[in-house]
Amino acid sequence: MNGTAIDHVKLRIPEDGVGDALAFYRDALGFGIDGMDLYESGEKPFFSVRLAPGAVIHLQPEGSTTATDGYDHVAVRVDETIDGLERELDDAGVDVDRRLDPLGATGVAPAVYVTDPFGYRLELKAERE
């Protein structure tokens, strides 16, 4: 078996957290939202944050859920310099929890960590310097 990329991650969010999710993932981070029409019509129990053409985060509103103890983070490669990424986050009012140069699937690259409204941590890893 030879894996090539992360296809998706599914996170449960509070039932009343849809607005917060859209404000963070769509409005602040600038990611696209897929499947909102199917979610709103009741045909699908979740909607998706489009991270890249082949990668999404499924968000499923459900009860009063919070981030679990076993979860650490989702790493997302972004086509930005680290300085540009930090400026975009600052302009959007998103606090950077920390900045590191972690080892990932494509090697060591600068990254920032942010936390979504539900306590889930995201690593945003710069693709270029």
The answer as to whether 1 is a domain residue is: no
Q: How far, rounded to the nearest angstrom, does the alpha carbon of residue 98 sit from its chain's CA centroid?
A: 16
**Domain count across the chain:** 1
The answer as to whether 87 is a domain residue is: yes
The answer as to whether 2 is a domain residue is: no
Q: Looking only at Cα atoms, what is the longest distance across the chain? A: 43
> What's the chain's length in residues?
129
CATH code for the domain of 96: 3.10.180.10
* Among candidate residues 50, 122, 110, 114, the one with its CA nearest the CA of residue 80: 110
Is pLDDT above 70 for 119?
yes
The residue assigned the tokens 């679990």 is 68
Give the strand pairing for 47-52 and 55-61: antiparallel
Q: How many CB atoms lie under 10 A from the CB of residue 71?
A: 12
The residue assigned the tokens 């998103």 is 94
Q: What is the pLDDT of residue 72?
A: 80
- Domain extent, residue 109, equals 8-126
Give pLDDT tens digits for 59-91. 999 876 666 666 888 989 888 899 999 999 999
The whole-angstrom separation of Cα 72 and Cα 16 is: 23
Q: What is the pLDDT of residue 77?
A: 87
pTM (two decimals)? 0.85
Give pLDDT tens digits for 1-39. 666 678 899 898 998 999 999 999 999 999 999 999 999
